[in-house]
Amino acid sequence: MSRGSQTEWVNPLRDPSDKRLPRIAGPCSMVMFGVTGDLARKKLMPAIYDLGNRGLLPPGFSLVGFARRDWADQDFGEIVHDSIKQHARTPFREEVWRTLAEGIRFVPGTFEDDAAFDLLAKTVKELDETRGTGGNHAFYLSIPPASFSQVLQQLERSGLSTGGNGAWRRVVIEKPFGHDLASAQELNATVESVFPPDSVFRIDHYLGKETVQNLLALRFANQIFEPIWNAQNIDHVQITMAEDIGIGGRAGYYDGVGAARDVIQNHLLQLLALTAMEEPLSFAADHLRAEKEKVLAAVQLPDDLGAATARGQYAAGWQGAEQVLGYLNETGVAPGSTTETFAAVRLEINTRRWAGVPFYLRTGKRLGKRATEIAVVFKKAPHLPFEQTATEELGQNAVVIRVQPDEGVTLRFGAKVPGSQMEVRDVSMDFGYGRAFTESSPEAYERLILDVLLGDPPLFPRHEEVELSWRILDPIEEYWAAHTEPLDQYPAGGWGPQSAHDMLAREGRHWRVP
């Protein structure tokens, strides 16, 4: 059966030759585990409404919640309604809500309760009959990783993991995908024993951001960048994800995990792969993933991990006008915890294109501002035919892709200062999504949830990518575990520990301030 007949409803008014028109999901439902959590309330439910508001969901779309709550359908409906009113990106429209509300169901129960999953299977079957969902159902596991195995086994036991007559069943898994290579392999084996690999969607919400996708357009749709995107012209690459918040109430999850496992293993290594990959044969999932995997397989760790990595914890200080606690004083953090809230690593990619170009990755909490960016910094011109005083403030050319919050691209280059003297200084040419396009960018979860319902997997890492990322990070984590000296402290509102600045300074470079 063709993919279109399985996953995509064809609007009879739509001209099939017009590729600009949005793709609309075919008959289906989404079953959501973990509906009482922040992710479901603040991101997932609003994203589903926003898709409906944009006309991208089928008329009979249904949302089923599963949780340990004594709720009826209408109680869950109120939760969804309030989440949408508070967090949706698009305006609230009563007619859209009424259509969505007709398909809302709730099943109470715990993960070990066979009867609850049998009731869920009955509910899903009723949706097929009354809402025309066609046997197509996605299961979103917005739950702690420790519960994945139990839920997957229940989906298999109750028959929910298996469609029939051309219908599909898919599972969506939130990060973290394990805490090291061994646990990731175990998790992958568990998931793929229940669902076939092409029905498993591992969510990395960074890959759904417009600017991350624009990185591919920037590189491969423009002749001006790709010819110079190599070691002959590029000095180094910096990939930064900075947060200005602390851990909040997440100590139970975060303490013992740390910044490297939480961000570098998934988000930043995915950004590295997209920055460094070769042009794929097409943007079909297999071709795109194959090129990313080649990059991750070619990543080379430095010989001296002590000199090429840095980590630290935020100390008490001022975040803007607010005085904040240090990490060790946060509620729920173990006394003397050695969990890092800042991590930086230096990596190289052992390919012809990138030989000798260092990639610096850093992430941290309680830093100077919230920002995620990829900065491609070019080598200085080999010869400057100017007086030294004419270029004393001239830096290095750079292309900076801003992933969040001010999505866009900046090109930094040298230009002459107006006047009678020949004086050259850095200037910036800036593209911003908000200024260039009238339509606001959809939230990452909108794009990713729609892709799950369509069965379109390019933006979802498969298990090979996950395991390659752990092969990069595991030796670093093992090195840190063997060196248990107290972590460097850095003041809240700053830009990380001094060891991170020293890591670049030893090579004559410095971190950008986003």
User: Burial code of 227-241, b = ≥16 C-beta within 10 A, e = fewer?
Assistant: eebeeeebbbbbbbb
Q: Could you give the percent of the chain with pLDDT greater than 90?
A: 66
- Dihedral sign, CA of 99, 103, 106, 112? negative
User: What pTM was computed for the model?
Assistant: 0.89
Q: Is the pLDDT of residue 66 over 60?
A: yes
Identify which has the larger pLDDT, 168 or 391: 168
pLDDT (mean) for 458-462? 83
Average pLDDT estimate for 250-268 = 90
Question: pLDDT category, 388, cuts 50, 70, 90?
Answer: low
Q: DSSP letters along 283-315, please?
A: SSHHHHHHHHHHHHHHEE--S-HHHHEEEEEEE
Per-residue pLDDT, 386: 56
pLDDT in tens, 176-205: 788 999 999 999 999 999 999 999 999 888
Determine the average pLDDT of the residues in 491-497.
Answer: 95
Using alpha carbons, list the distances in angstroms from residue 100 to 52, 55, 103, 170, 444.
Answer: 8, 11, 6, 21, 21
| DSSP state at residue 373 | E
Least confident of 242-256, 409-423, 456-470: 409-423
- CB-CB contact of 7 with 166 (8 Å): no
Which residue ranges form the domains of the chain, and what is each CATH number?
Answer: 3-174 (3.40.50.720), 208-505 (3.30.360.10)
35-39, 121-125, 213-217, 230-234 — which is least confidently predicted?
213-217
pLDDT digits (tens, 9 = 90+) for 333-363: 999 999 999 999 999 999 999 999 999 999 9
- From the centroid of its chain, how far is CA 203? 7
CB atoms within 10 A of CB 264: 25
Active site residues: 267
**Amino acid 130: pLDDT:** 95
